[in-house]
């Protein structure tokens, strides 16, 4: 098969060993489309190595057709159109993945659009409703609101009854986030978000992919019993915590990564998506937000685009010629 290889500064679509027959609990997928994530850029740069046992090939989510199933897999059949959450290996013609991480397409969603669903909706669900245990009405401060993850969080939170305040990098992105259901927003190039979030009413949870000096600011807008869920380090890995706030306001700081979770935890997340989010996608209440697509051979150009911070929603890679 062909897959993307990292060759110095280049990404090359080249021959690669096939993943091999599926284990008893696995599914082998002929990949049609791969979703691109910010983590792929970090892995390419050497900063986010795959967990032990995972494919070295980039790519955390795909859509495609089932090529083969393991002996114990009963809910999927050869030829089924599916999408899958991966630990790696998506930028390739074939990928092997535990069946627990594979879902049928939501009703009415194309194979193309489905490639951008697993990673962002799994991240949104796990962090909002499992890590932070959000209750209806609790308020969210969401950084990088127009990102792939952000566009999923805004829509999911609105559907679940959780108001959202976003921070983003342009006024146009604030408007785009409001169109998806955010109540209010702040352009991060206009200084600190703290006063604007306090004026909005503060937050019970912050979904923070930035870290760095955002953590201290997050702390000062958190209501009592608030949770900061740290999911990324785009602003740096060093920070200053105010332990006084943490103690007196009973705050919690939670570090969270989806990729390294055991399959059993990913199964819980995927089951929740199938039960709660898939019907919302099928009814049109939640939509896949796709910014643009590139051919897999142009993966480097797609990464340049993501890196520019100009994207809104997902960037997809077309892997199969017929897709
Ligand atoms: N822990 C996990 O399990 C997990 C899972 C998935 C994603 N993530 C993290 O979630 C974040 C979003 O991922 P994604 O793939 O959806 O990203 P994406 O679509 O590439 O969007 C990232 C956005 O972040 C903003 N940004 C970039 N640098 C920033 C900085 N220094 N400070 C503040 N904002 C900055 C930019 O938007 P603006 O210019 O508009 O602000 C950029 O468009 C990433 O940090 C990713 O690593 C974590």
Q: Tokens representing 93?
A: 């013609």
Instruction: Dump pLDDT digits (tens) for 128-180.
Output: 999 999 999 999 999 999 999 999 999 999 999 999 999 999 999 999 999 99
Q: Which atom of ligand 1 is nearest to the CA of 188?
A: 41
Q: Is the CB of 168 under 6 A from ligand 1?
A: yes
- State the distance from the centre of ligand 1 to the C-alpha of 123, rounded, in angstroms: 12
Rg over CA atoms, the chain: 19
CATH number reported for the structural domain that contains residue 299 in this entry: 3.90.180.10
How many domains are contained in the chain?
A: 2
Q: Are residues 66 and 134 in the same domain?
A: no
Compute CA 23 distance to the chain's CA centroid, rounded to the nearest angstrom: 26
Contacts with 199 (C-beta within 8 Å, 6 or more apart), sequence order: none
Ramachandran region, residue 250 (left: φ > 0; alpha: ψ -120 to 50; beta: rest): left
Do 224 and 174 lie in one domain? The reply is yes
Range of the domain at 190: 120-255
pLDDT for the residue numbered 99? 98
What local confidence, expressed as pLDDT, does residue 120 receive?
98
Is the shortest distance between the CB of 192 and ligand 1 below 6 Å?
Answer: no
Quick check: CB of 258 below 6 Å from ligand 1? yes
From the list 153, 251, 152, 144, the residue with the least C-alpha distance to 208 is 144
323 pLDDT higher than 80: no
- Position 267 in a domain: no
Give pLDDT, residue 216: 97
Mutate-to-test residue for ligand 1 from 191, 309, 310, 316, highest number of ligand atoms within 8 A of CB: 309
323 contacts 33 by C-beta, under 8 angstroms: yes
Question: Is any ligand 1 atom within 6 A of the Cβ of residue 231?
Answer: yes
For residues 83 and 85, give the distance between their C-alpha atoms in angstroms, rounded to a whole number: 7
> For residue range 80-90, what is the model confidence (pLDDT) as tens digits?
999 999 999 99
Report the atom number in ligand 1 closest to the C-alpha of 119: 6
Say yes or no: CB of residue 306 within 6 Å of ligand 1. yes
Cα dist from 316 to 34, 45, 151, whole Å: 6, 20, 15
List, in sequence order, the alpha helices (H) in the chain.
38-44, 111-114, 118-125, 148-160, 171-180, 194-200, 214-221, 243-248, 263-272, 278-283, 299-307
What are the beta bridge partners of residue 293? 316
Q: Is residue 275 part of a domain?
A: no
Answer yes or no: is the C-beta of 148 below 6 A from any ligand 1 atom: yes
Q: Identify the pLDDT of residue 321.
A: 79
| Residue showing tokens 């989510």 | 61
One domain, residues 200 and 79 = no
- Ligand 1 centroid distance, CA of 245 (Å): 26
Q: Are residues 146 and 249 in the same domain?
A: yes
* 35 and 143 assigned to the same domain: no
Ligand 1 atom closest to 39 (CA): 47
Q: Across-strand partners of 189?
A: none
DSSP 105: P
pLDDT band at 311; cut points 50, 70, 90: very high
- Residue 145 CB–ligand 1 contact under 6 Å: no
Q: Are residues 219 and 129 in the same domain?
A: yes
User: What does the DSSP 8-state code read for residue 139?
Assistant: -
Please give the pLDDT value at position 298. Answer: 98
Question: Quick one: average pLDDT of 279-287?
Answer: 98
**127 ligand 1 Cβ < 6 A:** no
Residues 35 and 156 in one domain: no
Closest residue by Cα to residue 154 from 131, 173, 133: 173
Quote the tokens at residue 87.
């630990």
Q: What's the 21 CA to ligand 1 centre distance in angstroms?
A: 35
Mutation test of ligand 1: which of 38, 125, 311 has the most ligand atoms closer than 8 Å to its C-beta?
38
Dihedral (CA of 219, 223, 225, 228) sign: negative
Q: Are residues 181 and 203 in the same domain?
A: yes
């Amino acid at each position: 098969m062909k897959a993307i290889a990292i060759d110095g500064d280049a990404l090359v679509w080249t021959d690669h060993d096939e993943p091999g027959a599926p284990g008893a609990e696995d599914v082998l997928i002929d990949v049609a489309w791969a979703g691109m994530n910010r983590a792929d850029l970090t892995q390419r740069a050497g900063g986010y190595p795959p967990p032990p046992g995972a494919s070295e090939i980039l790519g955390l989510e795909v859509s495609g057709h089932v090529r083969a199933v393991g002996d114990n897999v009963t809910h999927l059949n050869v030829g089924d159109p599916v999408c899958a959450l991966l630990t790696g290996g998506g930028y390739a013609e074939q990928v092997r993945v535990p069946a627990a991480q594979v879902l049928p397409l939501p009703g009415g969603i194309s194979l193309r659009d489905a490639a951008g669903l697993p990673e962002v909706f799994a991240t949104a669900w796990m962090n909002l409703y499992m890590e932070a245990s959000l209750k209806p009405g609790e308020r969210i401060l969401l950084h990088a609101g127009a990102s792939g993850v952000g566009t999923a969080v805004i829509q999911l939170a609105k559907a679940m009854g959780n108001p959202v305040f976003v921070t983003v990098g342009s006024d146009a992105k604030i408007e785009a986030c409001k169109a998806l259901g955010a109540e209010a927003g702040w352009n991060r190039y206009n200084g600190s978000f703290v006063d604007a979030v306090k004026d909005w009413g503060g937050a019970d949870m912050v979904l923070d992919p930035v870290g760095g000096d955002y953590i201290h600011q997050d702390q000062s807008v958190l209501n009592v019993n608030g949770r900061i869920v740290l999911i990324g380090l785009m602003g740096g890995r060093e920070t200053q915590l105010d332990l006084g706030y943490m103690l007196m306001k009973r705050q919690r700081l939670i570090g969270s990564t989806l990729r390294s979770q055991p399959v059993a935890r990913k199964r819980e997340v995927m089951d929740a998506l199938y039960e709660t989010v898939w019907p919302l996608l099928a009814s049109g209440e939640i939509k896949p937000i796709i910014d643009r697509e590139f051919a897999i051979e142009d993966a480097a150009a797609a990464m340049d685009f993501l890196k520019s911070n100009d994207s809104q929603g997902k960037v997809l890679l077309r892997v199969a010629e017929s897709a």
